[in-house]
């Protein structure tokens, strides 16, 4: 490609308002297997350290940005979770609660200050090539996120709620109802959106920024608002 070809291509991909169309990065990333020494180190830590010690080690490296800290975060998390694929990118100050219930696929990105709150008897499954933006919160007591999902910064999942039926009992003392949340492959969740308990977001659906999703979203639907409603459909 000549320099003039590159300029022509750039101009072709920029509209009158200055909006540019560029290639995706995370979803197209090629994933190599993690180095054997990382996997062996994680297995050694799993066998020689308690869960509390592993969590303390993960927290120790959580706020640091050095190359070794990034590797050690991944090693500690591999020792803690049920299953971990290759190419995990854990940014600073990520918090994990009951990671022993987590299954995480290849090429997952966890942005800064993400919180994954599992439960001792729960499940949290995150598929391949999932990108999770910073400051996102997951009530991950019964959560499945399939492959190639994009998760906007600050978006949240609420997977449980207190039943609060009797006025004679404080709501916080009432039973906890846990309802599964399922985000199907290729869905895109906008910044600061909220997914409520029991909701399934369909394959290839788009949830707009700030939307509050109170019921299931159909495949390839585009929803927005509070409560979220269909405003369009993705083209074939």
At 97-122, the pLDDT tens digits run 999 999 999 999 999 999 999 999 99
- Domain of 49 in residue numbering reads as 32-80
Count of the separate structural domains present in the chain = 2
In this structure, the answer to whether residues 103 and 196 fall within a common structural domain is yes
Give the residue from 198, 183, 43, 34 showing the smallest Cα distance to 107: 34
Question: What's the predicted TM-score (pTM) here?
Answer: 0.90
8 inside domain: no
Between CA 66 and CA 155, with CA 94 as vertex, the angle to 5 degrees is 130
14 inside domain: no
Mean pLDDT for the stretch of residues 222-230: 98
- Taking 70 as the threshold, does the pLDDT of residue 65 lie above it? yes
In this structure, the answer to whether residues 46 and 98 fall within a common structural domain is no
9 inside domain: no
In this structure, the answer to whether residues 76 and 90 fall within a common structural domain is no
In this structure, the answer to whether residues 60 and 127 fall within a common structural domain is no
2 inside domain: no
In this structure, the answer to whether residues 194 and 230 fall within a common structural domain is yes
- Taking 50 as the threshold, does the pLDDT of residue 13 lie above it? yes
Domain boundary among 80, 114, 144: 80
Mean pLDDT for the stretch of residues 147-160: 97
In this structure, the answer to whether residues 54 and 129 fall within a common structural domain is no
Q: What integer pLDDT is reported at residue 50 of this predicted model?
A: 96
Find tokens 């993960």 and name the residue. Answer: 58
Instruction: Name the CA dihedral angle for 49, 41, 134, 189, rounded to a multiple of 10 degrees.
Output: -100
Mean pLDDT of the chain: 93
Distance from first CA to last CA of the chain, Å, rounded?
Answer: 32
Q: What integer pLDDT is reported at residue 12 of this predicted model?
A: 54
In this structure, the answer to whether residues 40 and 111 fall within a common structural domain is no
Q: Distance (Å, rounded) from C-alpha 121 to C-alpha 186?
A: 28
The strand pairing partners of 230, in sequence order, are 223
In this structure, the answer to whether residues 182 and 202 fall within a common structural domain is yes
1 inside domain: no
- Taking 50 as the threshold, does the pLDDT of residue 2 lie above it? no
At 66-97, the pLDDT tens digits run 889 999 999 999 999 999 999 999 999 999 99
118 inside domain: yes
Neighbours of 58 (CB within 10 A): 22
Q: What integer pLDDT is reported at residue 98 of this predicted model?
A: 98
* CATH number for position 105: 2.160.10.10
Domain boundary among 18, 51, 80: 80
In this structure, the answer to whether residues 169 and 115 fall within a common structural domain is yes
At 171-217, the pLDDT tens digits run 999 999 999 999 999 999 999 999 999 999 999 999 999 999 999 99
214 inside domain: yes
Exposure of 22 by Cβ count < 10 A (0-12 exposed, 13-18 middle, 19+ buried)? exposed
Mean pLDDT for the stretch of residues 216-236: 96
Give the residue from 105, 226, 117, 96 showing the smallest Cα distance to 181: 117
73 inside domain: yes
Q: Distance (Å, rounded) from C-alpha 49 to C-alpha 98?
A: 16
Q: Distance (Å, rounded) from C-alpha 87 to C-alpha 76?
A: 14
In this structure, the answer to whether residues 68 and 178 fall within a common structural domain is no
Of 3-7, 166-170, 208-212, highest mean pLDDT: 208-212
Q: Distance (Å, rounded) from C-alpha 121 to C-alpha 15?
A: 51
In this structure, the answer to whether residues 98 and 160 fall within a common structural domain is yes
Q: What integer pLDDT is reported at residue 18 of this predicted model?
A: 86
In this structure, the answer to whether residues 166 and 224 fall within a common structural domain is yes
Domain boundary among 19, 51, 80: 80
């Amino acid at each position: 490609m000549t320099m003039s070809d590159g300029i022509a291509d750039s101009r072709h991909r920029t509209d009158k308002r200055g909006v540019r169309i560029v290639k995706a990065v995370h979803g197209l990333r090629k994933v190599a297997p993690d180095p054997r020494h990382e996997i062996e180190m994680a297995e050694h830590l799993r066998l020689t350290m308690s869960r509390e010690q592993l969590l303390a080690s993960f927290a120790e490296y959580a706020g640091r940005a050095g190359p070794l800290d990034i590797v050690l975060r991944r090693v500690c998390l591999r020792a803690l979770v049920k299953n971990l694929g290759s190419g995990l990118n854990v940014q600073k100050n990520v918090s994990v609660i009951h990671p022993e219930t987590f299954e995480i696929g290849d090429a997952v990105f966890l942005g800064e200050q993400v919180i994954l709150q599992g439960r001792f008897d729960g499940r949290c499954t995150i598929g391949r090539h999932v990108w999770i933006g910073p400051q996102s919160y997951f009530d991950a007591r019964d959560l499945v996120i399939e492959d190639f999902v994009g998760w906007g910064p600050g978006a949240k999942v609420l997977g449980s709620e207190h039943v609060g039926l009797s006025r004679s009992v404080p709501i916080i003392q009432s039973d906890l109802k846990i309802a599964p949340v399922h985000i199907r492959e290729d869905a895109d969740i906008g910044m600061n959106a909220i997914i409520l308990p029991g909701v399934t977001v369909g394959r290839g659906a788009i949830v707009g920024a700030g939307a509050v999703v109170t019921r299931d979203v159909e495949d390839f639907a585009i929803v927005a608002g509070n409560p979220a409603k269909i405003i369009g459909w993705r083209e074939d």
